[in-house]
C-alpha cells in the first residue's frame, strides 16, 4: 500500500501543478489538478489518524475549494463543486486563535496551559527562550520604516485580502529571514513584528523563540529529532509565529560544511519541515542570522522575504539618544553631533544602548555623591564614550557587503 508520506508528496505535486496552471490562466488544467489533489486529500484524511494532520487536510481542502470554485467561474460551467466536511470546519473556526487545535495527544504530555510540549520524548520547552515576551511593537523600533511597510503589505491582510491572494494562486510569504551585523536589532525586530501581528488580528498570536544553538545535539540524529519535535509542537496552534534565532547554527551550507557531516541531514530536515510550514498561511516562520553567507543556498532561496537589518544611521541614533536621554541632557550636549560621532564609529544599536547605559550611570553616580547634580553634561558624555566602543568587526562588514552584492 502507498505510504502516507508518498501520498503527501503526490498531493504537494498536484497542488503545485494546479497553482502553475492557475498562474498561466489555464483553468481547465488547474481544475483537473485540483480535483485530483482533492481525491488524494480525501484518501489521506481516511488513512492518516494524526489529528493535527487531519486539521491540516481540512484547511488544505478549503484552499483547494476556493481555487476550484474560481476555475468553475472562469470556465463558465456550473460543474460539481468540491465539498468540504462542514462540521469539522465549523469546529475549527469557533476556536480562538491562541487555543491549541489539539488539546491532548497520545504522543505527548499535556501541561497546565493545555499545550503539548513533548514529542517523541523530547520536551520542546527546553529549547524555547524563557525570557518574558516583551511588549515592544513597531513603534519602539526606530528606523526600518521601509521594512515595516513591506511587512505590513505582505502579512497584515484582512480575511478577504487573504482569500484574494489564494484565488490568484499567490504563495504566502511566511518565511522571513532577518540578517545583519550583531546587535543591529534582529531579535528586537522579530519580537516587535510578532506583537504587531497580534494587535492587528486582535487576538494574541503565540510567539515561540528558539536559539538554534540549543537545538544541536551531540548524538547522531538528535538535532534532526529536535527540529522535528519543534515543528510538530507548532502544529497545535491555529496561528503562531516561530522564530529561530542564530539560524546559521543549524542552517549551515551543506557544501561548505564538508568538515561537519551532520550539516547535511540537518539542513534536509529543515527543508522538509519548512515545506510543511509554508503551505499554512496562518503560520509565520522567522529566522535571524549574523552571517547569511554561511547559510545553505536552498534555505536562503526558500525565504520569501530577506530583510537586512542595517547598522543604524546617524538619524536613527539621534532618535534613539533623544528618546532615552533627551530629557536628561543639559545645553552643552549636542545630540545630533553625538549621533554623528557614534555612526562614524559604526556603533550598532546594542553598542549605542550600552553607551546610553554608561552615560546614565555617570549621572547616577554623580547624583549619589551630590544630589544637586541634575543633568548630563559633556564631561559625563566623554567619560561614557571612553568606556564604550563599537563591537562591529570589519571582516564581517566586508563579508556582508559581498553577500549583498552577490544579489542573494
Query: At closest approach, how far in Å is the CB of 169 from ligand ADP?
Result: 35
DSSP letter at 172 equals: P
Exposure string for 106-123, b = 16+ CB within 10 A, e = fewer: eebeeeeeebbbbbeebe
Nearer to ligand ADP, 165 or 350 (CB): 350
286-305 burial, b for 16+ CB within 10 Å, e for fewer?
A: bbbbbbbbbbbeebbebbeb
Cα maximum dimension of the chain: 86
- Asked if 148 is part of the footprint of ligand ADP (rule: CB under 6 A), the reply reads no
Which CB, 142 or 381, lies closer to ligand ADP?
Answer: 142
The grid coordinates listed for 232 are 510538530
Min CB(142)–ligand ADP separation in Å: 4
Q: How far apart are CA 59 and CA 166, in angstroms?
A: 12
| Cβ-based neighbours of 241, under 8 Å, separated by 6 or more | 193, 194, 197, 205, 206, 207, 208, 283, 284, 285, 286
The conformation of residue 349, written as its DSSP 8-state character, comes to H
| Contact between residue 295 and residue 248 where contact means Cβ atoms under 8 Å apart | yes
Tell me the residue nearest to Mg ion as measured from the CB: 187
Task: Report the relative pairing of strands 240-245 and 207-211 from DSSP bridges.
Answer: parallel
Give the integer Cα–Cα distance in Å for 156 and 169. 18
CB 188, min distance to Mg ion, A: 8
For residues 328 and 350, which CB has a smaller minimum distance to Mg ion in the complex?
A: 350
> Of 97-105, 186-194, 229-237, 388-396, which part binds ligand ADP (CB under 6 A)?
186-194
273 binds, among Mg ion, ligand ADP, none (CB under 5 to 8 A by kind): none
Q: Which of ligand ADP, Mg ion, none does residue 143 bind (CB under 5 to 8 Å by kind)?
A: ligand ADP
Residues 313-372 that bind ligand ADP (CB under 6 A): 320, 349-350, 353
Toward Mg ion, which CB reaches closer, 187 or 280?
A: 187
Rounded Cα distance between 309 and 183, Å, is: 10
Residue 201, Cα to own-chain centre: how many angstroms? 17
Residue 260: strand, helix, or coil: coil
Select the residue whose beta carbon is closest to ligand ADP and give its number: 185
Shortest distance (Å) from residue 288 CB to ligand ADP: 6
Contacting residues toward Mg ion, per CB under 5 A:
187
Residue 353 contact, options ligand ADP, Mg ion, none, Cβ 5-8 Å cut-off depending on partner type: ligand ADP
Q: Which does 225 bind (CB under 5 to 8 A by kind): Mg ion, ligand ADP, none?
A: none
The least distance separating ligand ADP from the CB of residue 255, rounded to whole angstroms, comes to 27
- 187 near ligand ADP (CB under 6 A): yes
Taking the complex as a whole, how short is the minimal distance between the CB of residue 76 and ligand ADP, in angstroms? Answer: 52
Beta-bridged to residue 100, according to DSSP, are 237
183 binds ligand ADP (CB under 6 A): yes
Q: Which of 108, 143, 206, 251 binds ligand ADP (CB under 6 A)?
A: 143
Q: CA dihedral defined by 76, 82, 87, 89, rounded to 10 degrees?
A: -80
Contacting positions for ligand ADP (CB under 6 A): 141-144, 180, 182-188, 309, 320, 349-350, 353
Amino acid at each position: 500500500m502507498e505510504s502516507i508520506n508518498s501520498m503527501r508528496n503526490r498531493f504537494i505535486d498536484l497542488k503545485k501543478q494546479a497553482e502553475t496552471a492557475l498562474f498561466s490562466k489555464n483553468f481547465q488544467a488547474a481544475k483537473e489538478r485540483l480535483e485530483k489533489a482533492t481525491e488524494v486529500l480525501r484518501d489521506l484524511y481516511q488513512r492518516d489518524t494524526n489529528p493535527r494532520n487531519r486539521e491540516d487536510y481540512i484547511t488544505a481542502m478549503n484552499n483547494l475549494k476556493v481555487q476550484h470554485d474560481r476555475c468553475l467561474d472562469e470556465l463558465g460551467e456550473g460543474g460539481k463543486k468540491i465539498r468540504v466536511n462542514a462540521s469539522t470546519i465549523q469546529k475549527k473556526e469557533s476556536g480562538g486563535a491562541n487555543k491549541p487545535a489539539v488539546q491532548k495527544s497520545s504522543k505527548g504530555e499535556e501541561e497546565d496551559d493545555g499545550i503539548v510540549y513533548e514529542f517523541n520524548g523530547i520536551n520542546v520547552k527546553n529549547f524555547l527562550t524563557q525570557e518574558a515576551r516583551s511588549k515592544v511593537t513597531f513603534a519602539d523600533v526606530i528606523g526600518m520604516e521601509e521594512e515595516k511597510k513591506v511587512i505590513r503589505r505582505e502579512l497584515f491582510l484582512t480575511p478577504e485580502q487573504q482569500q484574494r491572494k489564494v484565488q490568484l494562486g499567490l504563495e504566502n510569504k511566511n518565511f522571513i529571514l532577518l540578517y545583519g551585523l550583531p546587535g543591529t536589532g534582529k531579535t528586537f525586530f522579530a519580537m516587535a513584528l510578532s506583537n504587531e501581528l497580534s494587535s492587528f488580528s486582535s487576538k494574541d498570536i503565540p510567539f515561540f523563540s528558539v536559539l538554534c544553538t540549543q537545538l544541536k545535539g551531540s548524538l547522531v540524529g538528535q538535532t534532526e529529532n529536535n527540529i522535528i519535535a519543534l515543528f510538530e509542537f507548532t502544529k497545535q496552534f491555529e496561528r503562531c509565529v516561530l522564530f529561530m534565532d542564530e539560524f546559521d547554527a543549524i542552517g549551515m551550507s551543506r557544501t561548505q560544511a564538508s568538515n561537519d557531516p551532520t550539516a547535511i541531514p540537518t539542513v534536509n530536515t529543515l527543508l522538509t519541515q519548512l515545506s510543511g510550514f509554508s503551505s499554512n498561511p496562518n503560520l509565520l516562520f522567522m529566522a535571524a542570522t549574523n552571517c547569511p553567507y554561511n547559510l545553505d543556498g536552498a534555505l536562503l532561496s526558500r525565504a520569501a522575504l530577506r530583510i537586512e537589518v542595517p547598522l543604524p544611521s546617524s538619524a536613527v541614533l539621534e532618535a534613539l539618544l533623544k528618546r532615552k536621554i533627551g530629557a536628561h541632557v543639559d545645553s552643552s550636549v549636542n545630540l545630533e553631533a553625538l549621533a554623528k560621532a557614534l555612526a562614524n564609529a559604526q556603533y550598532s544599536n546594542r553598542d549605542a544602548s550600552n553607551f546610553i547605559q554608561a552615560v546614565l550611570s555617570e549621572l547616577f553616580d554623580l547624583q549619589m555623591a551630590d544630589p544637586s547634580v541634575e543633568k548630563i553634561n559633556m564631561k559625563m558624555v566623554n567619560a561614557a564614550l571612553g568606556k564604550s566602543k563599537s563591537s562591529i568587526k570589519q571582516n564581517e562588514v566586508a563579508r556582508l557587503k559581498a553577500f549583498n552584492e552577490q544579489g542573494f
